[in-house]
Each structure stands twice: as structure tokens, then as C-alpha cells.
Structure 1
Amino acid sequence: MRISHKAAVIIGAVAMGLTFAASPAFADPPSAPATGDIVGTGSDTTQDVLNGLSAAYDATGPAAKLYSWDATPQPSTITPKSGCASINRPDGSGAGIAALNNDTAGCLDFARSSRPSNASETNLKFIPFAKDAVTYAGTSTTTSHVVNGLSIGDLKDIYLCNKTNWNQFGGADAPIVPILPNPNSGTRAFFLQQLGGGTAISPGACVINGFRSGTTTIIQENDARELTLALGSGQSADDAVLPFSVAKFIWYGRQTPVADQRGTAAAHSVKDSGGTVVNPINGTVPNESLNTGFTSTTLTRNVFNVVKLVGGAVPSKFAPIFNRTGYVCSTAGQNVVANYGFGKLPTLQCGY
């Protein structure tokens, strides 16, 4: 269990007067959930906040408890509920949604997703519960060549391999090493779609695309260690960039010490269409928060919990948790959301 993470949550909750219970947050369910419990898998981006929401909601004593399986460690298997068959642990929004669709035994109830629905996903309801943003991360060392304040167009040129040297953006004469995470990553899908103005671009051949160079090991999303681990021979982390959830970056900064997945990386500012360079984060560690002004860059997004529709409607078992009047959208639930680095959603935008 992530006792150290939960300790940080509780300290923050006490300091801010938040109203959720001080029960342990789960990295995975502490034991096999019961058949009637509400169980999900999927996005790395929202796994930690769902752990916090699960612990807080379950502390209220519901008949059906809420549980969420982490996206990592990989590779591994999980048994979603008592009596269910083991499955490969879904890592990423796409993997979680696929596992939900493939489940015919009631072993999975929802998928975490950091991307919105596709046109073909008419059998699913994507239920928004928090605000996030995506930016590009790079090393923050004094030797880093990554240029701050790139625009969406600049990032598109980088990931299409139209521009391959930092001196093309006013930086040092050094090769750009663009990295993309796990092919099932919702953050990846959202990022590529926004670079394409609504239609996802296809990454160029210069991109380290989803798998560490020369291996079949996936690049874990929202993990700055991949700036080194994903590289090929002769490449330098000081030249590398990868998309990163701002909320996760903030959450990693609230750990003591700062989590390895953030390390000393920088979450860079982005230039909006009006030419203004906008920082995705307000404040400093450990009191950072999502900058609502980052919306001008088009890189802000909602994140979702996804459920199967039955007869065109969301089954009633989800109402106490994901409905607009349910726990996740309540004041207590949204306080948990904010404590994990995400932005709160207005009442009429949260839930279903």
C-alpha cells in the first residue's frame, strides 16, 4: 500500500480542512474485491486520484465498495474480483477500455480514461470527474537543450520530424529526441489529437514511439525516468521531450521526497495562439496547482471514468459514486480531486 502517499494526502487534508476520511489509499485493492463491488482499471494518469477517491468513499461505509487497480507494475496479472479469472493488468486508457469491453462476467465495472470517447464507442458512457492538462517535459539540468515556450505548431513539427534540431527554435545546436509513451496511453492519444487540431497526427520516424529504443518494453506515461530509459545509443536525455500530465506532475511534487517519476524534470510552458507563453502550473513545490489560464493553449482536458451503457442508460449501481449528486462530484470528492493535483469541475460539468 502507498502509505507514504496517503500520509501526504492526510497531512494536506488536515491543513486544508478537507472532509475525507483518513483511511489507507490503495495501490491495488488490499484483497480481492467482492462480486458486488465497483472495480476499475486503466489510465496511469488517474490511478492515484482514484486510489484516493476509493479510500475516501469506502470509508463512508457503502454496501458496494469502490476499488481501482493500478496501471503498473508491468508486466503482471490481476484478479479483478473474487472468483474472476486473472487478466493481464491493463496499462493505459485504451487498455482499460478494451478490458471493460471484453469483460462478459461482471468482473470489471469501469475504466479510467484520460482521453475522451471515440465516435465508435457508442456503447460506453465517458463520465467526467476532474480537469487536467498536458504539456511537454524535459530535463531541467543546466545542460538541458529543451526550449521552453514552444507552441502547438512547434510541437507538431517536432513530432512529425519536420524540425529535428533545437537551434530551429532558438536553442543550442543539438538534436531533438521526441518520445511518446505507451500506445494505449490516453495522454498520448490526447496530445497527438491536439497537435493535429482535432485529428491525431501520425508520429514521424524520428520519434521514439511507444517502446524503449531497440526493445519491446513500453514507455510508461507520466514518468520522467523515460527521458533516459527510452533512449537509444548515443542519445542524451538533455535533448529529449515527452508529453506529461500536469496533474500527475503536481502530484509527484507533493511527495516527500519528490517522486522519482518527476525527479528533476521540468513541465514546460506552452505558447498559445496569441503568442503568450503560459505556464501550466501555479505556485511552487509542494503547493503547486493547475493553472486554469493554460486553457488558452488547447492542451487542457477533462478526465473520465467509463462505464458500459445498458439499454442506453448508465446502470443505477453507479449513481452513488459517479452521478452528479454522487460522491466523486460532491464537495468531499472534489477536494480529493484537488489534493491529487487535478482541477475541480463545476457541478454541471461533473458526473452524469
Structure 2
Amino acid sequence: MRKTAAKLLTVAALATSLVTVASGSALADPTVTPAAQDIVGVGSDTTQAVLNQFSADYNASLGTGSTLPHLYSWDATGSSPITTKTGATSITRPNGSGAGISALNGNTSATVDFARSSRDPQSSDPNTFDFVAYATDAVSWAAQNGGHAPANLTTQNLKDIFNCNVTAWNQIDPSLSSNTIKPFLPQANSGTRAFFLKTLGITTINSCVTQGVQENQGSTAALNDADAIVPYSVAHYIGQAYYGKGSGSDVQGPLTVRSIDGVAPIDTTNKVITDAFANTNYSRSVYNVLRHSEFVATDTHGTALQAIFGTNGWICTSATATADLQSFGFLPLPSGACGSTIHS
């Protein structure tokens, strides 16, 4: 699925579709309290901005005065607790894919209808959930522009750095600085963290790694360091750096995303994930996670979920949704793959 998605779009199609999406900063939390019947999500930092845009555009497509369930999405960070919709139980704001999935598991549709996830299902997830795919992202690493990190690291280099087996740049290449490398990982519920560590085969975090930074926020002060290195969503970076989709702390700051195994993650001319990088193990699908019983139900709630997330739903069939994805750096999945499910 993730390997073929990058081949979906030509540059001409990309340029045509992007003109339908206005540039500007990312949207934020719902500006109104969603109604009890509305479809409300929480979770991943990586996909929060594009889901916010989906919400605005999907709701507009329903027309003024529509009584059909609307779509809303709460950011990963901000004030907490939150009351997600009318009549909902207040919950601690879920920060990250894992926290969103936990909130979906710990509440009913009276509070949370879906979780944003930038990671695949895990064995610890409830087996009653559907991970519904809709786009391709990739994860690379980022470092300070002009700092001591090279333009490229191999997979083995990354393993050695994050396993603390290599601790200085000149251990990778004698021509590099002798400064100590400072590896960082996002907070524990981050889907980007989970995917990055799984791809590298790392299960134990050693003492040289600083944990807990907010994922995809190059503005974090500790990362403005010539020796810092951190995993980063390529799509999120493209949205921030090339389409102006970041705002506040959700910006790339002084960081640039670098190559792995000699493969560049970003086509800087066309502002997309490169086809070559989308065909590496660092490519991933992103998902909206739903309760299986609700997603297949034929009642009003199930019908609304299908109308938004299903194979024939708005996200998978709307030209506006496709343009939204592209303007936030994601590669839309081809017909048949978008809306497909992995049952956890």
C-alpha cells in the first residue's frame, strides 16, 4: 500500500489540485462545541493539521444548515482537560497516536468517535478497532541547518546513534566534528516515535537519548543545537516548510530533514515526498482508527463514519480532500487502498 502510493500523482496533477487549497497556518481546535451526534477525533500530532482542514472542508460540503453529523478534530496539545462534544465526559487531552487510541478505547462515541494514528496497529491495541488508511507519510531524521550533522546517515548509523553505540560525529566520518551527538525522541505516545524505533529495530532506550520532545516541532529550544538529531514526519515537514501550514510552536524552526541510505526524502522542487523514499522502509500509512462495530453499523452513526472515512467516503473520493492531503505534504492513497482497513 505505502510503496505504490508515491507513484499515484504526476507533478501536473499535483500543481492543478493544490490551487484549490489556500496556504496559511494550520487550523486549531474546534471553534464551536461539537454536537452530540458529530464525529469527533483526537490523537496524532502528525495528522492533526490535515484533519482540521478536512473538518472545515467536509463540514462546508454538507451545506449551511445541514443536520447531518459534522466532523471535528482536537489537537494533540493545548489546554487540558477537554470536553470533546456536547454531553461528553471531560478527558485529559490525548497527545499522540497511542494516547488517542487509548481514549477511543476508554470512552464511548458520546466522547470520542475516532483516533488519529501515524503508526500501525500494535499487539497491545484492542482487537475491536479498525485502522482505516487514507494517506502515505514517511519518517526521516532532522538536524539543525548549519550544524554538525551530515546530509546523510545510513540505517546502521541511525541504529548506532539511537542505541548509544556511536556518540560522536567523527565516529561516523573522521572529517566530521568530534562533538557529542545529542539524539532526541518524541514523547512516549508518539506514533512517529513508535514507527521510527520499530523500523530501526530498537526496543530499549539507552541513557544518551533525551526523551519527551513534542514530535514535529522544530521550534523546540533543545533542538536548536548543532549536535541534536530527532526523527521527523516528512509530510508534516513539507506542510510546515513549503506550504506554510505550521503556526505557533508547530513549525520546522532551524531544522532540515536529511537523507537516509543516500535517499533524499523530499523533492524540493515539487514539494513532495520523493518516489524513492516512499519505496523505503521509512514510508508509512497514516490512519483514522474506528471501533469496528460502529464502522460497519447501518445506523445513523455508522452511515456518517462511512460517509467520511470509508472507501467511498469523502476523504477517499473528494478532490478537495486530495488537495488537502497534498498541501499538507501527504501522498493520497490510490483508489481501493484509501479506506482499506487493518483490524487490530
TM-score by length of 2: 0.84
TM-superposed CA distance for 1:16, in Å, is: 4.2
Contact 1:270 1:278 in 2 (8 A): yes
Matched with 1:343 is 331
Aligned positions of 1:260-299 closer than 5 A = 261-271=251-261, 277-284=262-269, 288-299=271-282
Alignment of 1:158-307 (within 5 A): 158-170=161-173, 171-196=176-201, 200-210=202-212, 219-226=213-220, 228-229=221-222, 237-255=225-243, 261-271=251-261, 277-284=262-269, 288-307=271-290
Do structure 1's residue 320 and structure 2's residue 307 form an aligned pair?
Answer: yes
Identical amino acids, percent of aligned pairs: 41
Which amino acid in structure 2 is aligned with residue 103 of structure 1?
N
The answer to whether the 8 A contact 2:76-2:93 is kept is yes
CA distance in 2, matches of 1:255, 1:148: 23
Matched residues in 2 for 1:98 and 1:291: separation?
Answer: 33
In the TM superposition, residue 290 of structure 1 has moved relative to its aligned partner by 1.2
Aligned equivalents of 2:148 and 2:254: distance in 1? Answer: 15
In 2: Cα distance, 1:138 partner to 1:20 partner: 29
Distance 1:322 1:256, change over 3 A: closer
- In structure 1, the residue matched to 2:104 is 100
1:7 maps to none
Letter in 1 for 2:287: F
RMSD after superposition: 2.5
- Assess if the C-alpha contact under 8 Å between 1:174 and 1:239 holds in 2: yes
Q: Is it true that 1:309 corresponds to 2:285 in the alignment?
A: no
The structural deviation recorded for 1:256 is 5.1
Q: 2:177 aligns to what SS in structure 1?
A: coil
Corresponding residue pairs, total = 312
Per-residue CA deviation, residues 140-182 of structure 1 (Å, 9 max, x unaligned), is 02xx111221111110111110110100111211101000011
Give the whole-Å Cα distance in 1 for the aligned partners of 2:222 and 2:204.
23
- Aligned runs of 1:56-67 on 2, under 5 Å? 56-61=57-62, 63-67=68-72
Bigger relative contact order (CA 8 A; separation at least 6) = 2
Q: Partner residue of 1:334?
A: 322
1:176-230 per-residue CA deviation (whole Å, 9 max, x = no partner) reads 100001100000000000001xxx42121110022xxxxxxxx11001123x336
Alpha-carbon distance, 1:17 to partner: 6.3
- Alignment gaps of 5+ in structure 2: 1-13
